[in-house]
Amino acid sequence: MVGAAVALPAVAAAAATGGFAVRAVFTALLVAGLLGVLLAARRLRRPGTPRKTFLGHVEELRRRLVVVLGASLAGTLVAFSFRIEAWRGFWRPVPAVQDNLAAQLFRSVRDDLVPAEVRLVATSPLDGIMAEFTVALLLGVVVALPLALAQAARFLGPALQENERRAVRWALLPALALFAAGAAFGYTAVLPFLFGTLYSYSDALGAELLLQVPDFVSFTFGLLLVLGLAFQTPLVMAVLSRFGVVRARTWLRSWRYALVAILIASAVVTDPTVISQLLVAAPLTVLYFLGVAAAALLEKRSVRPGAR
């Protein structure tokens, strides 16, 4: 699949480049994502259930959201209360209050991304605990990912036709692979370049190079999320063409508009230098044309005799 082919090199590079905590989190993300894909695909194979009233659907949605939020909270508390240590070739959890798993991940990301001449500072008493809580919350979401996908599949599955269930099952693994590829690309290529380039302007002014803890957390993890979602472009294009919403030739004819949109988006999330904008725009452009090819392929399959 296109998503897996794009993702594997980038994820491997991120795991090899990062420290121990980064490797552990990337491994956990992939394992949790694959488990969620398997659970969701299994749920989507089941036939639909009897119709419910509107209030019945609302109550079911509430129950499933409570389950997912509970799992996220449990994962957050674990990341906030334990640390991971290597012991005889294995990873084991050790109780820790301040130097927890969230702090381990934060330090590992700092060592990988922040230039040596830049000093990370906390300007408020709450900066440290809020940074750890934010990272722990993100780890809790990763832990709850399999359950969230399974609950979503159980809630939406009865409303889908069989061909729609097949399409969703087909899209689950590429969605995970593309998101991981986007995050890994941002971690190994975009963020190191941005930090080095942006701080070079301040260094040229002779200013002291400082970075506040909240800014580091929001900028780093926000950009990783944006790139992970942006890498879903070919999958979204293929699914829309598979169901006849947008024709593949429409995607192809609109490549100039897409290129302008990609350049604008790249300028928004990066610094003003052309090189950094091209660093983001180039892979997104490639993904767009991969989406055109995937859309054309699925469109041909959908119009075969007997195809639904």
Range of the structural domain that residue 196 is part of: 2-231
Residue 162 lies in a domain: yes
| Distance set, CA 249 to CA 192, 253, 295 (Å) | 37, 6, 9
- Residue 86 falls within a domain, yes or no? yes
- Percent pLDDT > 90 in the chain is 26
Please check whether residue 264 lies inside any domain of the structure.
Answer: no
pLDDT at 10: 43
For 13-28, how does the pLDDT look when each residue is reduced to its tens digit (9 = 90+)? 444 444 555 666 666 6
Any domain includes 278: no
Total structural domains in the chain? 1
Instruction: Provide the β-strand partners of residue 91.
Output: 86
Mean pLDDT throughout 267-274?
78
Q: What is the structure's pLDDT at 13?
A: 44
User: What average pLDDT does this structure show over 179-193?
Assistant: 89
Does residue 177 fall inside a structural domain?
yes
- Domain assignment of residue 9, yes or no: yes
Q: Which residues pair with 211 in a beta bridge?
A: 120
pTM recorded for the entire structure: 0.78
Q: How far apart are CA 101 and CA 85, in angstroms?
A: 9
Phi, psi angle pair for 267, to nearest 5°: -70, -30
The CA distance from 279 to 196, in Å, is: 14
So what's the pLDDT on residue 130?
94
Confidence of residue 303 (pLDDT cuts 50, 70, 90): low
256 in any annotated domain: no
pLDDT tens digits along 60-91:
889 889 988 998 898 899 889 988 887 777 77
Dihedral of CA 215/216/217/222: which sign?
positive
pLDDT higher at 243 or 204: 204
In a domain, 126, yes or no: yes
